[in-house]
Structure 1
Amino acid sequence: MKATEAKLLEFLKKSPQFVIPIYQRTYSWKEKECQQLWDDIIRSGNNVDINAHFMGSVVYVEKGLYSVSSQTPLLVIDGQQRLTTITLLISALTEVIGEQEPLEDFSCTKLKGYYLTNPLESGEKFYKLVLSQADDKSLKAIIKGLEQPDNRSIRVVENYEFFKSKLQKLIDLKPVCSGLAKLMVVDISLNREQDNPQLIFESMNSTGRELSQADLIRNYILMGLEPEHQTHLYEQYWRPMELTFGQQAYSDYFDSFMRHFLTVKTREIPKIGEVYEVFKEYSRRPSIATKGVDELVKDIRNYAVFFCAFALGKEKDEELKLAFKDLRELKVDVAYPLLLELYSDFSGDLLSHSEFLSAVRIIESYVFRRAICEIPTNSMNKTFARMGIGLKKDRYLESIKAAFLLLPSYRRFPGDEEFHRKIQTKDIYNFRSKSYWLRRMENFGRKERILVDEYTIEHIMPQADNKAEKLPLVWRSELGDEWERVWEIYRHTLGNLTLTGYNTEYSNSAFIAKCEHEYGFKFSPLKMNEGIAVEAKWDEAAIQKRANKLANKATEVWAKVELPKDIFDAYKPQIEQSTAYSLADHPQLVTGKMADIYQAFRKAVLGLDPCVTEEVKKLYVAFKAETNFVDVVPQAKRLRLSLNMPFAEIDDPRGLCKDVTNLGRWGNGDVEVGFDNLNDIPHILALVTQAFERQIGADDI
């Protein structure tokens, strides 16, 4: 490695050509970064006391150690974004400067001949900077003054226009020229035979600010390969994958795709900032490494196609496309690892089209029912990440149904009774995806679909903006003496909401007027409006009646999972019979001071969540969500608790806890805490809550 400080313009002038390798990310600077560079240049150019402005490093590699006398193109490892942006600024300056020469060597001809082109060369060698794919075509069109290609680079063109606009507003171009002349870089040349470009590249991007996790992954895969192999893999797999995403979507979604891909492959969810490190570990597994890099890249490409189909709306099959749209509106990114696995198996003919569609609808019902029943979403990412482990792929759909039916406690699939009850009383008007549930209910069973987006939500009983703006007298009379209570409880609930294209016309009109209007409920072709106009008046009873009717329909739209009993029983895990114990086996918890403290503690722990259960063991009492999160060991003068979590993770500001890792105590976990006073319960409960939330995944990242 050789590193020297250099003026950027001199560096550009002396260097023959910079080539951006195919494995580098596309140009990605946005207006924010361009504005910052512009501000730095103008500030330096206007201030005679500033002699230089450092703007980073340019790292490049060739077979031998570089010297400026060499005419070998320089392969850029780091610095693409800065080089490209400066090239765009200089290109814009050549367009605006005309016949001027604000400073020596800042004429149009010299700017082009020194920093943009090699005038005596032809073909690719003519250009000082060679980018990749669409970026390169757009930059060459700018330098040559040609029309942009159809697949133009959005970032290249927008940033060129940004600088051009800035320059055109200046009366004096000297500050820009002076600022450009003061820019400094660290010129770092690598010897491929002596230096490891990937390690250097990683260390220079260790903060994660410059490159995404996916960028690091792509470079890790391709950087160490021979150029011909790089080109083959990039053109065969990686570039088609980028095109499948599209320019903006690739930038926005590829990191999250790689996280979901790794979740499928490892059955563990990588933290957002650790995707690259997890990928390196995965790629080094013997089972992966022996297949070779070609198979790995091909696998990523295949899964990317699946991801784009359901996450980005690229699916061609109409039934699946609609089902995926419903999932996207529900914002169920946590289900994407399972969907990737299902789609892969569907692509490999392990799962039929009808089975795949059914599985997608089961996921939708699961997520929507839980949202309506207000079950915390804490652990859904882990639920979906690991569901594929136990699936029997010779009885695929059956095992998917069984997997959902077997989900316990806080991960449960809500049944019809719970869902039917909750959907009638929930404030569903303010549900995060109200257009989704209205569209699903209106179009259920229809072949001729209604475009719900063309309608608005109508409150049959007016919602009014606030309590101060009370209901009109006609509505108070309609609702009776308890009109305010009815309005408060029911206005945003299922029974009072429908669709209309005449919201403005209806306004706060009386119920009969809304029904008998020229385009009123009585004449509406929408299914959601069926039966409204037959009611004599719209009061609490009418709202409840309609809510019950729509709730019945909702249980069909978002159907429960069913399996014959004998088949479901075969999937149930075998539970060994254990000796039954009761509190009577622990006298300290039945009478005396410890009994009172235990009952107060017990009530607080069971109150954490409906899923919490109590199980009396021979030597302790366990409180469980799915498994023990706190165990109570009765003692004569105190209750000794075992918290099922690593000691290093407990937040214990009072220093009440003790590390019992590997000490062999009764109970589960590495954290022990004791107490003997009712007044300590709030502090103890705060510790217990940490163990509970850790188990249900409240802190999933």
Structure 2
Amino acid sequence: MRGEAVKLTKMLQGTRTRFVIPVYQRNYDWKREQCKRLFDDLTDVAREERESHFFGSIVSQADGDTKIIIDGQQRITTVYLLLTALLEQIRSGNVPTGGKERLAEFIQDEYLVDRYAKDDSKLKLKLVKGDQAALAKVMNAVDSGNDGLDEDSNVTVNYRYFLDRIAQSGLDAGKIEDAVEKLEVIDIKLESGDDAQLIFESLNSTGLGLSEGDKIRNFMLMNLPLDQQEMCYERYWNVMERNTSYDVSAFIRDYLTMKTRRTPVISQVYSSFRQYAKDFEPLNLMNDMLRFSRYFGRITGTITQSSSVDDGLRRLRLLEMSVINPFLLSLLEYVDDGEMTSTELQEVFHIVEDYLFRRWMCNVATNALNKVFAGLHHEVLRGVTEGSTYCESLKYALLRREGSGRFPDDEEFHHAYNQRNLYEIRHMRFYLYDCLENDDNVERVNVVDMLERGKLSVEHIMPQTLSRQWRQCLGADADDIHNLWLNRMGNLTLTGYNSRYSNSEFSFKRDCEHGFKDSGLKLNRFIADCDSWGEEQIVERNELLWKRFLELWPAIETSYRPVVEERETHALDEDFVFTNRKIAAYTFQGARHVVKTWVDMMQGVLVGLYGIDPVALRAVAFSDKFPSRYFSDSPLEYGFEVGTGIWFDPGW
């Protein structure tokens, strides 16, 4: 790698000189703020007659006369647009040249265009696909005087900004061009032995804000020859972006979770991917990722088909629990490979819905779900290899879990149903009311869309504020009934006329135009047949809806048991009670250790931590905070030695 200070315009000059922004780079995204700063600096350079102005670094890799820009595309593109705008203002006669003859011709031929090249490559700057089309329109407008620019592109927006600034600056074109010539950069040229990706990461370790997906795209494409970069971007990466609605980072996190059965931290998806990718040939890996990006598109609703599979995925999306995506990726591949019918898949969807909704209803902590779904498909397949069906093995895999991974039984589910405030449930109301109203009916009411657009809302039949008439109707225990039943399922329904009903008495809500008797919603049929609305009716409807809950989210059971039951595994930070449990093994730093007692495990972990960072462990052991009381700097009768001068007493 070689670097030297040069004038940016010297880099632009040369008949065959061409700058190419490779396809793995982000689009041009400098905004008015950065353009204003540049032009303000150039104005100061011109008026103060400075000799130079430092403008950052440009990192490039040579490919003949072509410079492939590794870092610095925002600077080069912005200066190119400024010079293009200056050329247009000179040709339009909006600014004088300051006595510089043939300045327009000089700017065009020296900085902007290779006049000897073919039309499709005459511009000295080649941007990524969308930006290049916008730049070509700008240059065509300068050449022909016609407009028709891409107004949605930052290329066009910044070009127009420079047109205005040049016209209003009070500087002639010669002084502006002179100021541009004073821009000095560090020209860093990569040599054959340099690792472009590592250099790029170092240069962009702060401030640029690349997403994890951006880093992975660069990693996959950067070291390929230029023609292969174009091919791989168009055939693989660009399609993946569309399939994932441009949220590649989220997709790859789920992809890695599915493949490795471990969920990477969001900020470490790139580093996890680099480690995973070592064992694969790049094109094979991209082809596999492309396949799973299509499944991801179906899971997230970006790709839709008219099928029962997509109906099942739509219901799961309403739960807003993306933690299940790695499992669904494996599942869709399994179906695609002909290992499962669509009917079986629907049953799997229902089991997963049942598990997730019951847990939500019972307010079970979600911290175990990452671990549950990361390896669930592989766990289920072990049962399939023993002769079980997929669904029966899935039921066993979910039912065997305890603590925060548990599948709530009917008793816990019923208790939650009778206690939970089902009015203030935010996003889950879409799923809940869609299921209650539609289930699997062909003639569906689009509950979700109508709730989102405010065409439907959740209505308290007994209102939130009791009027005098309602108190008379409810009787002497009105306040107790109101407090107990207001937000329970028996008193809640859907209507498109919530504001009209307000706190009106029940007979008005039932009999008015568009009242409950006119409602086409199944949820309102019982209400329409009631003569009055009090505790008796609420209790009866509450029980009817509880039976509906059990139909929609039934308890599951299975007779399947594995030949050799797998031992339970739990993370230490999981909401799980380890009391009265025996330990068989633990995993530390990716390695599995078989032990006989919890003390063996504690000794192994503490000794391991001491080996990683003895200074940090000593700081914890000899502080005045927990758990320092378990440590000592001298031998203990019942403890064990952790490291030099540190002993630990488990206190048992």
TM-score interval, normalised by the smaller of the two chains: 0.7 to 0.9
**Structure 2 counterpart of 1:377:** 366
CA distance in 2, matches of 1:87, 1:123: 18
2:110 maps to 1:117: no
The answer on whether the counterparts of 1:457 and 1:497 sit within 8 Å (CA) in structure 2 is no
For residue 486 of structure 1, report the CA deviation from its aligned partner: 3.5
- Per-residue CA deviations over 1:369-421 (Å, capped at 9, x if unaligned) read 21111111112112111212322255323322221122222111222332233
Residue 169 of structure 1 deviates from its aligned partner by 7.9
Read off the aligned partner of 1:471 and give its amino acid letter: L
Alignment deviations for residues 507-542 of structure 1 (CA, whole Å, 9 cap, x no partner): 221111101112211221101112013333322332
The residue number in structure 2 matching 1:506 is 501
Aligned amino acid, residue 169 of structure 2:
L
- Whichever residue aligns with residue 187 of structure 1, its letter is D
Q: Which residue of 2 aligns with 1:600?
A: none
CA contact (8 A) 1:87 1:116 kept: yes
Mapping for residues 307-322 of structure 1, pairs under 5 Å: 307-322=296-311
Question: Which of 392, 401, 407 is the matching residue for 1:398?
Answer: 392
Give the letter aligned to residue 296 of structure 2: F
Gaps of 5+ in 1: 65-71, 465-469, 577-607, 619-630, 634-640, 677-701
Counterpart of 2:589 in structure 1 is none
Residue 83 of structure 1 corresponds to which residue in structure 2? Answer: 76
1:612 maps to 2:581: no
Report the alpha carbon displacement of residue 127 of structure 1 after superposing the two structures with TM: 0.6
**Structure 1 counterpart of 2:32:** 35
Root mean square deviation of aligned Cα: 4.0
Structure-2 residue corresponding to 1:335: 324
Instruction: Specify the alignment match of 2:587 in structure 1.
Output: none
Give the drift of 1:86.
Answer: 4.1
Q: What percent identity do the matched residue pairs reach?
A: 30
Instruction: Give the AA of the match of 1:387.
Output: L
Distance 1:491 1:186, change over 3 A: farther
Cα distance in 2 for partners of 1:219, 1:183 equals 28
Residues 1:197 and 2:229 are matched in the alignment:
no
1:294–1:427: structure 2 CA closer, same or farther, 3 Å change rule?
same
| Pairing 1:19–2:20 present | yes
Residues in 2 aligned to 1:350 and 1:616: alpha-carbon distance in whole angstroms? 38
Give 1:213's aligned residue. Answer: 212
- What SS does the aligned partner of 1:27 have? coil
Give the match for residue 592 of structure 2. none
Q: Which secondary structure does the structure 1 equivalent of 2:56 belong to?
A: strand
2:149 aligned with 1:161, yes or no? no
* Structure 2 equivalent of residue 137 of structure 1: 133
Q: Which residue of structure 2 aligns with residue 359 of structure 1?
A: 348
Instruction: Report if the CA contact (8 A) 1:116-1:128 is conserved.
Output: yes
Report the more deviating stretch, 493-502 or 108-117. Answer: 108-117
Structure 1 CA distance, aligned partners of 2:17 and 2:258? 46
Do 1:429 and 1:492's aligned partners in 2 also have CA atoms closer than 8 Å?
A: yes
Q: Quick one: which of 293, 296, 303 aligns to 1:304?
A: 293
CA drift of 1:121 comes to 2.9
> How many aligned positions are there?
591
Three-state SS of the structure 2 residue aligned to 1:391 is helix
Change (3 A) 1:111 1:536: farther
Counting only pairs closer than 5 Å after superposition, residues 53-452 of structure 1 correspond to structure 2 as 54-63=54-63, 72-88=65-81, 90-91=83-84, 98-101=92-95, 111-145=107-141, 157-161=153-157, 164=160, 168=164, 172-174=168-170, 177=176, 183-191=183-191, 193-207=192-206, 209-245=208-244, 249-250=245-246, 253-285=247-279, 288=280, 292-392=281-381, 393-394=384-385, 395-433=389-427, 434-452=429-447
Tell me the distance in 2 between the aligned counterparts of 1:664 and 1:411: 39
Give the C-alpha shift of residue 60 in structure 1: 1.2
Contact between 2:85 and 2:162, CA under 8 Å: does it hold in 1?
Answer: no
* Aligned-residue offset at 1:18: 0.7
> Which SS does the other structure have where 1:530 is aligned?
helix
**SS in structure 1 of the partner of residue 499 of structure 2:** helix
What CA distance in whole angstroms lies between the structure 2 residues aligned with 1:55 and 1:128?
Answer: 20
| CA distance 1:642–1:475, change in 2 (3 Å) | farther
CA contact (8 A) 1:96 1:168 kept: no
Tell me how far apart the structure 2 counterparts of residues 653 and 110 of structure 1 sit (CA, whole Å): 74
**Greater mean alpha carbon deviation, residues 138-147 or residues 379-388:** 138-147
Counterpart among 471, 477, 480 of residue 476 in structure 1 = 471
Query: Deviation per CA, 1:614-670, whole angstroms, max 9, x where unpaired?
Result: 42889xxxxxxxxxxxx999xxxxxxx97997667989761543469xx99789x99
Aligned to 1:686: none
Q: Is the CA contact 1:424–1:551 (under 8 Å) kept in the aligned structure 2?
A: no
Q: TM-score, normalised by structure 2?
A: 0.79
CA offsets per residue over residues 173-223 of structure 1, 9 Å max, x none?
3579487566443221122x2323222222222347343222222232233
SS in 2 for 1:257: helix
Report the AA paired with residue 353 of structure 1.
S
The 5 Å alignment of 1:422-571 reads 422-433=416-427, 434-452=429-447, 453-454=449-450, 455-461=455-461, 463-464=463-464, 470-563=465-558, 565=559, 567=560, 569-570=561-562
Give secondary structure in 2 for the equivalent of 1:206: coil
Q: Which amino acid aligns with 2:217?
A: R
For 2:581 and 2:298, locate their aligned partners in 1 and report how far apart those are by CA, in whole Å. 50
What do residues 330-350 of structure 1 show as CA deviations (whole Å, max 9, x unaligned)?
A: 221111111111112122122
Q: Is the alpha carbon distance of 1:358 and 1:654 closer, same or farther for their aligned partners in structure 2, counting shifts above 3 Å?
A: same
The alpha-carbon distance between structure 1 residues 99 and 13, as it changes in their structure 2 partners (threshold 3 A), is farther
CA distance 1:493–1:182, shift in 2 (3 Å): farther
